[in-house]
Chains A and B, each alone.
Chain A
Amino acid sequence: AQKITQTQPGMFVQEKEAVTLDCTYDTSDQSYGLFWYKQPSSGEMIFLIYQGSYDEQNATEGRYSLNFQKARKSANLVISASQLGDSAMYFCAMRAYQKVTFGTGTKLQVIP
């Protein structure tokens, strides 16, 4: 069985600062993918970044980077230079085969 754990229900960050959102996972599969999605208050789910279990380098997409520590089974999202528009719910997810399991989310609020 797959499990995603996001232990931070809510986070605050000052505008222009960096923030790390935590995600740990559990799976017995050797091949899997890890994702982060953003859900603003408008409700849509926006794909941010992907990390494959065999990728040796951490994924980066603009201001987003994924700190992948395979031995620790963690896949933390780092947002650099936070902007007011980054205020949203953030979901960590894992895919093994075709099934995707989502975490409970972290609500990020960026303070001006």
Chain B
Amino acid sequence: DAGVIQSPRHEVTEMGQEVTLRCKPISGHDYLFWYRQTMMRGLELLIYFNNNVPIDDSGMPEDRFSAKMPNASFSTLKIQPSEPRDSAVYFCASRKGTSRGEQFFGPGTRLTVL
């Protein structure tokens, strides 16, 4: 089975540009999580979905960030406009609601905002 798929793997953009990160969870998983990892703040939960519905977005840093999950096999995290402090590795993870709770992570997207 394929794991969590994220694209792109690397993104370099200029300040002010819109950035869209994409995630395909593992088939059959009904929870999807977006995390951000930086040296300063570690691994932070941004938002998570259950059955495509956003449940908790309290970790989204500000209105420049938005996330959607239009169907069970696709989610996006959008930053508009991007700023240099958004530079980080963004992970998507998924899990099955009936499991013990372990999340399976995608390979991450390394975002650099110049």
Which residue on A lies nearest to B42, using beta carbons? A104
CA distance A102 to B107 in the complex (A): 17
Is A111 interfacial (CB-CB < 8 Å)?
Answer: no
Task: Tell me whether B108 and A33 are in contact (CB under 8 A).
Answer: no
Asked if A25 is an interface residue, CB under 8 A from chain B, the answer is: no
A95 proximity list for chain B (CB < 8 A): 101
Q: Smallest distance from the beta carbon of B44 to chain A beta carbons, Å? A: 8
**Helix, strand, loop or mixed for chain B's interface?**
strand
Q: Which of B43, B56, B100 contacts A102 (CB 8 A)?
A: B43
Which of A43, A50, A102, A104 contacts B101, CB < 8 Å? Answer: A50
Contact check, B43 vs A44: say whether CB atoms are below 8 A apart. Answer: no
**B105 contacts A by Cβ under 8 Å:** yes
Residue B103 is within 8 A (CB to CB) of chain A in the complex: yes
CA–CA, A4 and B45, complex, Å:
14
Determine the chain B residues whose CB is within 8 A of the CB of A52 once the complex forms: 100
Contacts of B93 in A (CB 8 A): 45
Asked if A90 is an interface residue, CB under 8 A from chain B, the answer is no
Question: In the docked arrangement, what's the CA distance between A52 and B105, Å?
Answer: 20
Residues of B within 8 A of A100 (CB): 33, 45, 101, 103
Prevailing SS type, chain A contact patch: strand
In the complex formed, the residue of B with least CB distance to A59 is B100
CB distance from B87 to the nearest CB of A (A): 15
Q: Min CB distance, B24 to chain A, in Å?
A: 16
Is residue A91 contacting chain B, with contact meaning CB distance below 8 A? yes
Beyond A44-B107, A91-B43, whether A98 also contacts B31 by CB under 8 A is yes
B-side interface residues toward A, CB under 8 Å? 31, 33, 42-43, 45, 48, 50, 55-56, 89, 91, 93, 100-105, 107-108, 110
